[in-house]
Amino acid sequence: DQQVKQNSPSLSVQEGRISILNCDYTNSMFDYFLWYKKYPAEGPTFLISISSIKDKNEDGRFTVFLNKSAKHLSLHIVPSQPGDSAVYFCAASRFNGNKLVFGAGTILRVKS
């Protein structure tokens, strides 16, 4: 039962352009949504999160949008940089401090 889905296994973007990574979820009880970035041989690194009571959160080049009615969230990276090339995971949780449920990840390649 995949509660969090990332349907695009990979995405390729030109440097300087916008990267949009998408995530869908099925459990309407999720309270928090997070994005993590992972480089090879390293653990996931937290990028940005959003509470279910908000529809947008922004941090520098990263913006997360939440559409609760569609059970969909997206991560926008503007402008994309070659160093952003990594695997991006969407995650969700119920209640603060509870376990995270991850999607399968999307490989982002930013071409210079």
Partner 1 sequence: DTGVSQDPRHKITKRGQNVTFRCDPISEHNRLYWYRQTLGQGPEFLTYFQNEAQLEKSRLLSDRFSAERPKGSFSTLEIQRTEQGDSAMYLCASSRREVKGNEQFFGPGTRLTVL
Q: Which of 84, 103, 108, 110 binds partner 1 (CB under 8 A)?
A: 103
In the complex with partner 1, the residue whose CB is nearer, 1 or 112, is: 1
- 96 touches partner 1 by CB under 8 A: yes
Q: Least distance (Å) from partner 1 to the CB of residue 85?
A: 18
Q: How many residues bind partner 1 (CB under 8 A)?
A: 28
Is 70 an interacting residue with respect to partner 1 (CB under 8 A)? no
Residue 74: strand pairing partners:
22, 65
Decide: residue 79, CB within 10 A, 0-12 exposed, 13-18 middle, 19+ buried.
middle
Q: Binding segment for partner 1 among 14-22, 39-47, 69-77, 78-86 (CB under 8 A)?
A: 39-47
Helix (H, G, I), strand (E, B) or coil at 41: coil
Which residues, 6+ apart, have CB-to-CB distance to 35 below 8 Å?
21, 46, 47, 48, 49, 62, 64, 75, 88, 89, 90, 91
Specify the stretch interacting with partner 1 by CB under 8 A; choose among 12-20, 65-73, 76-84, 85-93: 85-93
Residue 41 zone, left/alpha/beta (φ > 0; ψ -120 to 50; rest): left
Binding site for partner 1 (CB under 8 A): 4, 6, 31-32, 34, 36, 41-46, 49-51, 89, 91, 93, 96-105
